[in-house]
Chain A
Amino acid sequence: MASKLQQERRAEFKRYKEDVAKEGKPFFPYAILHDTIMSLVVVAVIIGLAVIWKYTNQGTDVGVLGPLSTAKADPGTTNFVPRPDWFFYFLFYLLRIFKWPETVVLGTVGVPTLLLVLLIGLPFFDRRPERAILRRPVAFVAAILVVISMGVLTWKGATAKEALGSETVSLVPKWANEQGFADNKVAVAGATLFAESGCLNCHTYLGTGSSNLGAPNLSDEGAKGRGIAWQVAHLKNPSSKTPGSPMPSFAALGDENLTKIATFLEASKGPQK
């Protein structure tokens, strides 16, 4: 027993088949002509981008489409910018919205899974035969919202400011004064390593840094009383201390340097004002 909707849909598709058989045109040579023109445009654009990319990268100048390569991967240097390819920017920037570490999983898994389920399920909850977009108000508004939010997130991800080690190092004396660890040589050395190692690409410290991936503000990390041993173990293997942490291991810096950073973190008890 077919429902009214089913009968209607079947009748429409039957009409469609008849109309196409009667009034349509063969794919070859008609539609394939336009497909071929479009395909040639695509290939031309790809070659054009490759040529611009190569020829604007002459000598030491970085071209308009970015460098040919950055330096060879080095697990030892941790002064990195955790930035994916551009088409993941919207997911990457989404994570900044979730400030509390406990809610990051909503950004990494929750929202993408929900979007995927909605996308896959679309033909099953939008079952009306109507195809004209102006007579599908819900679909129309939803599509506009999705396009705007993905566009904004991609744009924000692309223009997100990166904390450069060379710039943040100059802030170390200011930090030492505000936190009152200027006399502690090991902590100052740790602060320098902290500034150079890219920590501020995710964490914030006294108003500097990026707050990515739910990374906490470390301005008063020392007030939590976790101790140097805990800090070192955490830097070596973050998820052993904070399950589910997306932070990479900094074990490559070596025990001596990690102890310096840990001393610095433990000396950071919030601004001494």
Chain B
Amino acid sequence: MAKSARQAQIEQAALYPLDWVEERTGLVGYTKWFLFRNVPGDVNWMQTLGAATLTAFIVQATTGVFLAMYYKPDPNSAYESVQHITHEVTLGWLVRGMHKWGASLFIILMFLHMARTFLFGAYKYPRELNWIIGVLLLVTGMAEGFTGYLLPWDQTAYWATVVGININATAPIAGPFIAQFLQGGSQIGPDTLAKFYSLHMLIIPGGLMALIGLHMYLVVRLGVTSPPWSPKAAGRPRDEPAPTGYGDYRQGLIREHREEHAQEDGA
């Protein structure tokens, strides 16, 4: 069906802003590269755990921004500002509750995502570096949990941090210096709280975002693995049978669509 001159004109006008951006940044091309890359047809529900972890992180970042608008990182008013958020600010309890519970979920999902990667042997060549970035994300994520735990400035928070810092101090060589830096004085006080606040909402999240960016770049560049038990795992020679011993494997998520389409095409 041939396009009328009018249609072509409208299309061109609609695409003009995209072309304008593409010519100057190449961003449209990158977005296409990200969205329309192929993934194996037999990917599994377990492979959504990475996206789930990212979502938990986005929830943390978003609720964290709103909490920072009301929180006061000073021992004289920190506890009171958290009470204000919990009991007085409109939906403050929800934002704080989501941040508190989202933190636990973020950690759990990181561990599950790592377990999936281990189960699939997806850390092997050529994805070694992405495994290492993942381990760094786990450690940084737990550091985020440690620094965030002090901020409500209640008894639980305070004494958990006292012991945490003291444990840090027992490490050889760098231990005492790190503990001294974190505590910033003879006792946990204003300097400690300000430091933990800064670490918790600037340095560590910045590091997390950079690592997540790198992690996702490598995922897109190297591709997603097929489940090793898949009969049509991408990369396995076609004359080699799928590993046995898994019982009835579940069909891949996307493969089912493929077969439906194949039948339609054949009909």
Interface residues of A (CB under 8 A from B): 9, 12-13, 15-17, 19-21, 23-28, 30-32, 34-39, 41-43, 45-47, 49-51, 53-54, 65, 68-75, 77, 80-88, 95, 104-105, 108-109, 116, 119-120, 122-124, 126-136, 139, 143, 147, 213, 239, 244-249, 251-252
Residue from A39, A249, A251 in contact with B51 in the complex, judged by beta carbons closer than 8 Å? A39
Main DSSP-derived SS at the B contact region? helix
- Judge whether A25 and B254 touch: CB under 8 Å: yes
Can you give 6 A-B contacts (C-beta < 8 A)? A16-B223, A34-B43, A35-B48, A43-B59, A85-B103, A131-B121
Give Cα A39–Cα B113 distance, bound, in whole angstroms: 14
What 1/0 mask marks residues of chain B from 51 to 73 whose CB sits below 8 Å from any chain A CB? 11011100100000000000000
Assuming the contacts A82-B160, A124-B128, asked whether A134 and B86 have C-beta atoms less than 8 A apart, the reply is no
A24 touches B38 (CB 8 A): yes
Whole-angstrom CA separation of A84 from B96 in the bound complex: 19
Asked if B205 is at the interface (CB within 8 A of a chain A CB), the reply is: no
Tell me the smallest distance from the CB of B18 to a CB of chain A, in Å. 16
How many whole Å from A183's CB to the nearest CB in chain B?
35
Determine if B100 is an interface residue (Cβ-Cβ < 8 Å): yes
Supposing A80-B155, A109-B170, A246-B167 touch, asked if A68 and B86 sit within 8 A by C-beta, the answer is yes
B160/A84 in contact, CB under 8 A: yes
CB of A51 to closest CB in B, whole Å: 7
A88 touches B142 (CB 8 A): yes
Docked CA distance A45–B103 (Å): 12
Q: Which residues of chain A are near B234, meaning CB under 8 Å? A: 15-16, 19-20, 23-24
B52: contacting residue among A21, A25, A39, A122, CB under 8 A: A39
Within 8 Å CB of B257, what residues of A? 25, 30
CB within 8 Å for A72 and B105 given contacts A31-B254, A246-B169: no
**Closest residue to B237 on the A side, CB-wise?**
A15
**Cα distance, A45 to B106, chains bound together (Å):** 12
- Whether the pair B223, A17 counts as a contact (CB closer than 8 A) is yes
In angstroms, Cα B163 to Cα A88, docked, is 12
For the complex of A and B, 5 pairs with smallest distance between CB atoms: A50-B97, A131-B121, A16-B235, A24-B38, A73-B158
Knowing A42-B105, A53-B100 are in contact, say whether A31-B170 is a contact too (CB < 8 A): no
CB of B55 to closest CB in A, whole Å = 4
Which of these binds chain A: B4-12, B19-27, B131-139, B196-204? B131-139
The bracket for how many chain B residues form the interface is: 35 or more
- Chain A residues lying within 8 Å of B101, measured Cβ to Cβ, are 46, 49-50, 53, 65
B9 to chain A, nearest CB (A): 28
Determine the distance from Cα of A51 to Cα of B94 in the docked complex, in whole angstroms: 7
Q: How far is the CB of A143 from chain B (nearest CB, A)?
A: 6
Q: Are B135 and A120 in contact (CB under 8 A)?
A: yes
With A12-B235, A239-B169 already in contact, the answer to whether A135 and B142 are too (CB < 8 A) is: no
Least distance between B77 CB and chain A CB atoms (Å) = 11
Residues of B within 8 A of A17 (CB): 223
Partner of B135 from the list A15, A88, A116, A245 (CB cut-off 8 Å) is: A116
Q: Is the CB of A72 within 8 A of B97?
A: no
Question: If the complex has contacts A105-B172, A131-B228, are A72 and B154 also in contact, measured as CB distance less than 8 A?
Answer: yes
Residues from chain A with a CB closer than 8 A to the CB of B132 are 120, 123
Please determine whether B125 and A122 come into contact, CB atoms closer than 8 angstroms: no
